[in-house]
């Protein structure tokens, strides 16, 4: 949001910095802002049309469209009048209407003359905004409009970008996470494979939630499900391809939700097997054990294994101990509403010391959220 102050010219450079940081930027400006800068400047920098009017826009409902679209809203410069409107929930023009319509976090960069900044009304409004969860950056001291000097100068664009990054940082920011998901397919011949019932939903939910919490996520998956836009997706098919992909990735936490085949046809046929040749004898050989290779790494990451069981939790507890993982997510796949292809799951979490937490039947996304809470706590975040 660009509102009517001389610092509006700095909002153009701010837009450029945001674009360079890989963000998509859309600008709305008030009528007063037009006195200082034109919409063409912002449209050229951002590659998006600029919204200047609540009623004369290509969007049917500009304030709600923009408000819903944004991951964060920056008001730069924020005039004293804008802060007052925002503090009182007024919505008579595009900037304040969008601010009222958004649920995204809001950052304001006030800019005004010292007298206005120090006025009790402005102070009151700012207190209200801070209570409402608005982040305030600046103002700084220096040259103001009309040759004046003092406090009230808009924060520099670099400072605003840094504050935005801080505001948006999640609890997992900076953590490198690798997730495996889906069931592997081991070729019998060019058309047939040995597979399993894993849908990849649990692993994808774990990757998506980690990205949402700020982690740098790589997802090695056998499914073509969509993933959170910040997730780096590597698609594979077989256990070998999954092992090769995992081996190349350095990470701090590895969550192995994939259902990896333990055995594969030793010598898959190059041509399709024919019915007329009779039932084939398929010799199997072991696949690489991905989890063990990760566990054997020098400086190994924090490892979360999965244990899909059909004969009760005891086998999972024994498996967790044998594999030495930091956490094991165990589930009884035959239980109604849990395990493969469902949107819900009932899991038990087995800690490295053998302690077990039984979690209720909840959505897979919630299982993922709970899991990341535990991991974040264990990693001191």
Interface ranges with ligand CTP (CB under 6 A) = 180, 239, 256, 258, 260, 262, 287, 289-291, 305-308, 319
Q: How far is the CB of 156 from ligand CTP (least distance, A)?
A: 48
The dihedral sign for the CA sequence 147, 150, 154, 160: positive
Tokens 């660009």 sit at which residue?
2
Q: How far is the CB of 203 from ligand CTP (least distance, A)?
A: 9
Task: Say how far apart CA 133 and CA 72 lie, in whole Å.
Answer: 13
Q: How far is the CB of 368 from ligand CTP (least distance, A)?
A: 15
Q: How far is the CB of 103 from ligand CTP (least distance, A)?
A: 36
Task: Say how far apart CA 210 and CA 217 lie, in whole Å.
Answer: 7
Task: Say how far apart CA 109 and CA 157 lie, in whole Å.
Answer: 9
Cβ proximity to ligand CTP: between 126 and 239 the closer is 239
Task: Say how far apart CA 347 and CA 330 lie, in whole Å.
Answer: 5
Task: Say how far apart CA 255 and CA 335 lie, in whole Å.
Answer: 23
Name the nearest CA neighbour of 51 among 35, 64, 63, 68: 63
Q: How far is the CB of 189 from ligand CTP (least distance, A)?
A: 22
Cβ proximity to ligand CTP: between 319 and 378 the closer is 319
Beta strands in the chain (DSSP E): 73-78, 106-110, 135-136, 140-143, 149-153, 176-181, 186-187, 193-194, 216-221, 232-235, 253-256, 263-265, 284-286, 302-309, 327-332, 344-345, 347-351, 356-358, 362-363
196 carries an active-site annotation: yes
Q: How far is the CB of 290 from ligand CTP (least distance, A)?
A: 3
Q: How far is the CB of 263 from ligand CTP (least distance, A)?
A: 9
Q: How far is the CB of 187 from ligand CTP (least distance, A)?
A: 16
Burial 37-68 (b: 16+ CB within 10 A, else e): bebebbeebbeeebbbebeebeeeebbebbbe
In sequence order, the 6+-apart residues with CB closer than 8 A to the CB of 55 are: none
370: left (phi over 0), alpha (psi -120 to 50) or beta: alpha
The 3 state secondary structure assigned to 171-239 is CCCCCEEEEEECECCEECCCCCEECCCCCCHHHHHHHHHHHHCCCEEEEEECCCCCCCCCCEEEECCCH
Cβ proximity to ligand CTP: between 217 and 307 the closer is 307
Cβ proximity to ligand CTP: between 13 and 193 the closer is 193
Cβ proximity to ligand CTP: between 36 and 340 the closer is 340
Given 48, 125, 196, 373, the catalytic residue: 196
The alpha-helical segments, DSSP class H, found in 47-156 are 62-69, 80-88, 94-101, 114-118, 120-131
Cβ proximity to ligand CTP: between 178 and 260 the closer is 260
Cβ proximity to ligand CTP: between 205 and 291 the closer is 291
Cβ proximity to ligand CTP: between 111 and 227 the closer is 227
Known catalytic residues?
A: 196
């Amino acid at each position: 949001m660009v509102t009517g102050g001389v610092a509006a010219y700095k909002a153009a450079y701010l837009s450029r910095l945001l674009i360079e940081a890989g963000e998509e930027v859309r600008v709305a400006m008030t009528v007063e802002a037009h006195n200082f800068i034109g919409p063409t400047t912002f449209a050229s920098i951002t590659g998006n049309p600029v919204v200047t009017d609540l009623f004369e826009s290509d969007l049917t409902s500009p304030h709600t469209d923009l408000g819903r679209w944004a991951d964060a809203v920056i008001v730069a410069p924020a005039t004293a009048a804008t802060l007052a409107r925002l503090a009182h929930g007024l919505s008579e023009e595009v900037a304040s209407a969008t601010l009222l319509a958004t649920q995204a976090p809001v950052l304001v960069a006030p800019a005004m003359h010292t007298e206005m900044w120090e006025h009790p009304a402005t102070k009151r409004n700012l207190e209200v905004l801070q209570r409402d969860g608005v982040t305030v950056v600046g103002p700084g001291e220096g040259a103001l409009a009309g040759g004046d000097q003092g406090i009230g100068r808009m924060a520099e664009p670099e400072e605003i970008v840094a504050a935005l990054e801080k505001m948006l940082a999640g609890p997992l920011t900076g953590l490198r996470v690798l997730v495996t998901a889906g069931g592997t397919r081991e070729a019998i011949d060019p058309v047939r494979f040995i597979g399993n019932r894993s849908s990849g939903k649990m692993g994808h939910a774990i990757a998506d939630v980690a990205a949402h919490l700020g982690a740098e996520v790589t997802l090695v998956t056998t499914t073509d499900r969509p993933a959170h836009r910040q997730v780096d997706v590597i698609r594979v098919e077989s256990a070998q391809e999954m092992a090769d992909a995992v081996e190349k990735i350095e990470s701090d936490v590895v969550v192995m939700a994939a259902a990896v085949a333990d055995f594969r046809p030793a010598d898959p046929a190059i041509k399709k097997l024919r019915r007329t040749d009779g039932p084939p004898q398929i010799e199997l050989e072991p696949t690489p054990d991905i989890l063990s290779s990760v566990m054997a790494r020098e400086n190994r990451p924090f490892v979360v294994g999965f244990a899909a069981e059909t004969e009760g939790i005891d086998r999972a507890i024994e498996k967790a101990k044998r594999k030495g993982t930091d956490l094991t997510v165990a589930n009884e796949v035959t239980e109604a509403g849990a395990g493969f292809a469902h949107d819900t799951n009932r899991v038990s979490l087995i800690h490295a010391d053998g302690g077990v937490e039984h979690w209720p039947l909840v959505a897979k996304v919630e299982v993922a959220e709970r899991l990341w809470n535990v991991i974040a706590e264990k990693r001191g975040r």
